[in-house]
Chain A
Amino acid sequence: MRPVTMAGEQLLPVVAPLAPLFPEGGLRRGTTVVVKSGGTGVTSLALAVGVAASQAGSWCAAVGLPALGLVAAAGLGMALERFALVSHPGEQWPAVTAALIDAVDVILLRPPRGIRSSEARRLTARVRERGVVLVVRGTWPEGADLSLSIATIGQAGWRGLGQGYGYLQARSVEVTATGRGAASRERRVPLWLPGNNGTVEKRRVALEQAPATPAAASAAG
């Protein structure tokens, strides 16, 4: 028996630059968000989705991502003391994910290859019932409430790295969100992911047109 919750509690916050991607400006509890493979920055984007909820006091967990860069996660703003990692769930991953659905608010899942549709459906139903947000990095056989895909802008998209000098500072990307219901209209947001200080930043489109990035300039010349 769950207590009656107010409408505001049905939404978990997302960081301001990502908010335009979500039809309600936040993560609706009980939904599944798929971050599609392809392009670069998929891991950063999947992490960034949960950052604001983590900062607001929610527990987050990552399943099946042994190579997750935790310094980068901390840089994006994830509260590491409330970020549980189950790197090697092995065959037990559906049981582990189910247990996490009861325990935390945001789950970052990388499903193994060949995930069965029935398993995905069962988890999605449980997510909906428990009011958790499931962020899937990779492919998900069930339909997602919202799918995000990422594309880099410009050649390579990175700013700060040249031919033998500089260092990677910021990457300009464009994130596209499609979904069903209220989210069916396609939304695009230009972002710096990561931005200069490691977090997600909104990218003004005027900047994109200026050939200011040394990487792009030197590659062109």
Chain B
Amino acid sequence: MGGVRTLVVWCPDWPVVAAGHPATVPVAVVSANRVVACSAAARLDGVEVGLRRREAQGRCPEVIVIDQDPGRDIRAFEPVVAAVESFTPSVEVGRPGMVSFGTRGPSRYFGGDRTLAAQVATAVDAVLAPLAAPLCRVGVADGPFAAEQAARAAQVAGGQAGRAGRSGRAERAGRAVAAEVAVLVVPPGRSADFLVPFPVRVLERPDLADLLTRLGLMTLGDLAALPAATVLARFGSDGATAHRLARGRDERPLAARTAPPELAVAAELDPPAERVDMAMFVAKSLADKLHEVLAARGLACTRVAIEAETEHGEHIVRLWRHDGALTSRAIAERVRWQLDGWLSTGATTAGVTLIRLTPDEVKPDHGRQLGFWGGSAAADDRAGRGFARIQGLLGPEGVVTAVVGGGRDPAVQVQLIPWGDHRPDASVAPPREAPPWPGHLPLPAPALVYPDRVSAGLHDGDGQAVTVTGRGVLGSVPARLTIGGGSAVEVVAWAGPWPAEERWWDEQSSRRRARFQVCGADGTAHVVVLESGRWWVEATYD
């Protein structure tokens, strides 16, 4: 027996579309220096997911590189979800760019899977058309995994959908409707046959796929042919899940069940929240509460329904799914994305008065082993609660942590990330292992870096301002430094000029500066900069 009959809508290259770039422009979306998505034009030039940023730029020099932003992706995805929601209320967002629902009810109402799929595709394409996005792909099959593969296999080729199926077998198993929409419907009970020719890497388990390939199990068909007990014995529970998927069965463990309703948590907002940060304060504590309620029963949540009601009586629900268990932080993050989407796209016309979180699907929590002495988890929780309180006082930008990256200036090297936002992992590398930035300041770094640099004056022994020529030659020897209208300090030691010419290829953002380190007789040391004929203090070695 197969899984629940599911329809999946897949919008190809969604992060590119969300960033507002049409498919005809080469764009690569990167996260942690790896390409995570690219546009069709970039793909034609050989850019692939998983490439390093440099490699991608090497293959396609005109590629526009943008950073990944899950918040932006989901905000832009909101209209698509709304379009799908006009067909059925219980829509599941797997991740930005992919939305699914069970077809059992809607399919009968709209006259069969194929008609339903075509109508959904037309509705979604209508939303995508103004964005110049590639057409969406719709797949229907037994179980979300098979449906996702069907959606990815659905192709539009010269107005004929489904022609370019992955292989003969795939086409025999699932014929697509001939229309200008990309739809692939796998007949009921044929999902296992449909999945046979797919390579094992579509399981999205890179380690396992690598192992299977080395063992000669190239396709899902090869894997499915093995007895379930043997697979479990050799590859463990992860392998067993993969095996179940390969056989066209449901990905979710059979033990997943609908949660009893009393697990839902809700909070009324008085006064109504019109901004996300106001609602987030409540949502964060709700997420914690939900997590507590679930933890008390030894349950973990794999799908959560986020509900909001507004002053005008609007009532909106959205389901969020997560492959692992949703932690309270992850729930709160999804609530924020969701509220951000609703409040900024105008899905709501008034402030939010009620937020309800319902664990839609729960499973036994196998837990996480904590350190014997309580470890850092307790301290992290305590810190997180305090920071959330301060964010309630000062807004989300009020509490930040820093990430040190590359750059020539001490100010540019630091990126401030609001507490609760995703911290790039690359941050952990200490600055001295960073790539070379010619002309950067030598370490040790200054302990004070002014957000607004301070006006200064650097004069020679005759009281004339020190000059630097266009070729970086110093006019006279610095003797006195004045900072922000204070009294002059005698310069006892100095070095420079260190020219820094940045972004000379770009008229708007190019800068030419000459930097000096200047040490005064009073023991102070500064980074002094000459730019466009004026002197500034950028930083102080305090």
Contacts and interface: CB of A to CB of B under 8 A. Distances in A.
Given A156-B520, A219-B493, 12 more contacts: A40-B541, A47-B447, A57-B376, A69-B447, A80-B404, A82-B401, A84-B400, A86-B399, A156-B492, A158-B523, A194-B444, A215-B492
Nearest to A194: B444
Contacts of A92: 393-394
Main secondary structure of the interface of B (DSSP, over half): mixed
Contacts of B400: 84-85, 87
B383 A67 contact: no
Contacts of B376: 57
16 contacts: A59-B383, A69-B447, A69-B539, A70-B414, A75-B444, A80-B402, A88-B398, A100-B390, A102-B385, A103-B384, A103-B385, A156-B519, A156-B520, A158-B525, A161-B494, A163-B493
Contacts of B539: 69
Given A59-B383, A161-B495, A161-B519, A74 B431 contact: yes
Contacts of A58: 379
Nearest to B541: A168
Between A66, A85, A104, the greatest number of chain B beta carbons within 10 A of the residue's beta carbon is seen for A85
Contacts of A214: 493
Interface stretch (B42-50, B102-110, B135-143, B422-430): B422-430
Contacts of A40: 522-525, 540-542
Contacts, number: 189
Nearest to B448: A67
B379 A99 contact: no
A108 to B, nearest CB: 12
Contact of A84 (B399, B493, B540): B399
Interface size range on B against A: 35 or more
A219 B492 contact: yes
A104 B494 CA distance: 40
B389 interface: yes
A39 B401 contact: no
A99 B383 contact: no
A81 B415 CA distance: 12
A187 B523 CA distance: 22
B443 A103 contact: no
A72 B446 contact: yes
B444 A198 contact: yes
A168 B390 contact: no
A38 to B, nearest CB: 11
Between A44, A67, A104, A157, the greatest number of chain B beta carbons within 10 A of the residue's beta carbon is seen for A67
B402 A152 contact: no
Interface in A45-87: 47, 57-59, 66-75, 80-87
A84 B446 contact: no
The 3 closest A-B pairs by CB, nearest first: A103-B386, A71-B445, A152-B523
A104 B349 CA distance: 40
Interface string B505-525: 000000000000101111111
Contacts of B492: 155-156, 215, 219
Nearest to B400: A85
A69 B423 CA distance: 19
Contacts of B444: 72, 75, 168-170, 194-195, 197-198
A90 B521 CA distance: 34
Interface in B354-412: 376, 379-380, 382-387, 389-390, 393-394, 398-404, 410
Contact of A81 (B394, B428, B431, B494): B428
B399 A74 contact: no
B519 A158 contact: yes
A166 interface: yes
Given A84-B419, A99-B386, A156 B401 contact: no
Contacts of B413: 71
Contacts of B416: 85
